[in-house]
């Protein structure tokens, strides 16, 4: 995808054609092999890095004039730092293990019109002292281009993560295989959130079809033309989210004891089902096979002319499962209006968000100081209760 993107943009292609060793990593543009002089008057090579602003596959005008650098601070030929571009010392790591050490500032009056001008300007400033000491060094090495089989899970570059410099944190979940069992209100919102992460595969399980009530408790909007066709839930959501990413694998059936083997090999499973018998069977299977999971649930009751209720997130792992019998219902609760299909979209979205945050905590993406395995949010008192914490 990197070389294809370069070919589609004249400024990026000009850099490559003139001999710059450029690379696109996530949402960053990297120019390798930039010669510079160290404070000891040695010649070394560093990497120029800047955010890449894209609209689809089209590179836009750079959104700022700042350039980052991986290497020691560049100096003049006498070993004194180049003060004209000084900006800040940083210590940031990209997803490909490149460490950014400094940021530079050199702003033309009208800014940089394209990435060719931006990279060339900084490369000229940094490499000039090195070239004055040794006429054989160059910032344009014309290295052979290695064609790689770049298989991103996304259909286009994730410039959101690169802007935040969290590509290396994303790598903690990059190879995971995720299953979402049930694509009702909460499950569909979980899919919406997980689809925007860089996990390797997302398996979605549901044997139901999309009906009118689904449209009012799920992300986005489905047209009446689509609804009258009664598309399968997994087929519909696959068609939506495949526009964003690859490796969504639909399973157009309900899980039961006879087909739970499909969950083997998953790293995490989200259980979003209101059939307690099936839920119990799934949990038993996951516990037996040491597969981590997150179970979600809503409890909503009508009190006079208001609704009260709670939102629950319960997780189980191979190391912590002694709390599950007390936290996850096994029988039908007759006083829970949620069981009569009264679902509230904002509660579905909240339940999904809490579940995804917990999954990312379990994966090391977010810091987790509580280590709770059961969390309940009570709506009418705005209270969050964390229980079943891992003992230190």
What whole-number percentage of the chain has pLDDT above 70? 94
Helices (DSSP H) in 195-248: which residue ranges? 212-215, 224-227, 233-241
The pLDDT of residue 338 is above 90: no
Angle at 274 between CA 343 and CA 302, to 5 degrees: 40
The pLDDT of residue 95 is above 80: no
Q: Higher model confidence: residue 149 or residue 114?
A: 114
The SS3 assignment for 58 reads strand
Domain 172-387 class in CATH? alpha beta
Question: How does residue 287 score in pLDDT terms, banded at 50, 70 and 90?
Answer: very high
Question: How does residue 6 score in pLDDT terms, banded at 50, 70 and 90?
Answer: confident
C-alpha span between 370 and 154 (Å, rounded): 33
The pLDDT of residue 150 is above 70: no
Measured distance between the N- and C-terminal CA atoms of the chain, rounded to whole angstroms: 45
The pLDDT of residue 159 is above 90: no
Q: Where are the domains of the chain?
A: 2-153, 172-387
Query: What b/e string do you get for 274-288 counting C-beta neighbours within 10 Å, with b at 16 or more?
Result: bebebbbebbebbbe
Kindly give, in sequence order, each residue whose CB lies less than 8 Å from that of residue 55, ignoring residues fewer than 6 positions away. none
C-alpha span between 347 and 344 (Å, rounded): 5
Tens of pLDDT, residue by residue over 191-218, are: 999 999 999 999 999 999 999 999 999 9
Q: Determine the average pLDDT of the residues in 378-392.
A: 90
Q: What's the burial of 95, exposed, middle or buried (CB within 10 Å: 0-12/13-18/19+)?
A: buried
Residue keyed to tokens 């836009």: 60
Candidates 88, 73, 47, 346; CA nearest to 218 is: 346
The pLDDT of residue 343 is above 90: no
Q: Which pLDDT score is estimated for 97?
A: 78
Is beta strand 292-303 parallel, antiparallel or unpaired with respect to 268-271?
Answer: parallel
Q: Residue 24 forms beta bridges with which residues?
A: 29
C-alpha span between 311 and 296 (Å, rounded): 8
Q: Which of 75-79, 122-126, 146-150, 255-259 has the lowest mean pLDDT?
A: 146-150
The pLDDT of residue 330 is above 60: yes
Residue 198 tokens, joined: 């860089």
Q: Which pLDDT score is estimated for 146?
A: 55
The pLDDT of residue 5 is above 50: yes
Q: Determine the average pLDDT of the residues in 149-172.
A: 78
Contact between 265 and 177 (Cβ < 8 Å): yes
What whole-number percentage of the chain has pLDDT above 90? 78
The pLDDT of residue 341 is above 80: no
Q: What's the burial of 258, exposed, middle or buried (CB within 10 Å: 0-12/13-18/19+)?
A: exposed
């Amino acid at each position: 995808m990197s070389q294809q993107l370069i070919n589609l943009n004249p400024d990026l292609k000009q850099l490559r054609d003139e001999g710059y060793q450029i690379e696109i990593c996530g949402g960053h543009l990297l120019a390798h092999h930039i010669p510079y002089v160290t404070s000891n008057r040695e010649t070394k090579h560093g990497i120029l890095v800047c955010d890449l602003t894209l609209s689809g596959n089209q590179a836009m005008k750079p959104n700022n004039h700042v350039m980052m650098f991986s290497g020691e601070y560049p100096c003049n030929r006498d070993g004194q730092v180049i003060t004209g571009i000084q900006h800040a010392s940083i210590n940031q790591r990209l997803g490909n293990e490149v460490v950014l050490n400094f940021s530079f500032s050199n702003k033309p009056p009208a800014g940089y019109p394209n990435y060719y001008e931006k990279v060339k300007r900084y490369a000229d400033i940094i490499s000039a002292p090195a070239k004055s000491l040794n006429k054989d060094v160059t910032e344009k090495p014309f290295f052979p281009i290695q064609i790689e089989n770049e298989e991103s899970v996304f259909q286009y570059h994730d410039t959101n993560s690169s802007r935040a410099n969290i590509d290396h944190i994303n790598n903690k979940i990059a190879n995971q295989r995720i299953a979402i069992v049930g694509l009702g209100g909460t499950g569909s919102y979980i899919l919406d959130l997980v689809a925007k992460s860089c996990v390797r595969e997302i398996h979605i399980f549901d044997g139901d079809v999309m009906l009118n009530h689904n449209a009012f408790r799920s992300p986005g909007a489905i047209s009446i033309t689509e609804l009258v066709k009664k598309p399968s839930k997994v087929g519909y959501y696959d068609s939506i989210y495949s526009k964003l990413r690859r490796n969504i694998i639909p399973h157009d059936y309900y899980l039961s004891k006879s087909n739970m083997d499909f969950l083997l090999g998953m790293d995490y499973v989200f259980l979003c089902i209101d059939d307690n018998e099936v839920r119990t069977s799934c949990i038993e299977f996951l516990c037996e096979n040491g597969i981590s999971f997150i179970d979600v649930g809503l409890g909503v009751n009508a009190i006079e002319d208001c609704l009260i209720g709670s939102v629950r997130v319960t997780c189980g792992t191979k190391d912590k499962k002694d709390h599950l019998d007390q936290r996850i219902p096994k029988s039908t609760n007759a006083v829970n209006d949620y069981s009569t299909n009264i679902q509230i979209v904002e509660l579905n979205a909240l339940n999904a968000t809490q579940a995804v945050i917990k999954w990312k905590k379990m994966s090391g993406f977010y810091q987790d100081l509580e280590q709770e395995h059961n969390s309940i949010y009570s709506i009418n008192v705005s209270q969050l209760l964390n229980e079943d914490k891992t003992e230190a």
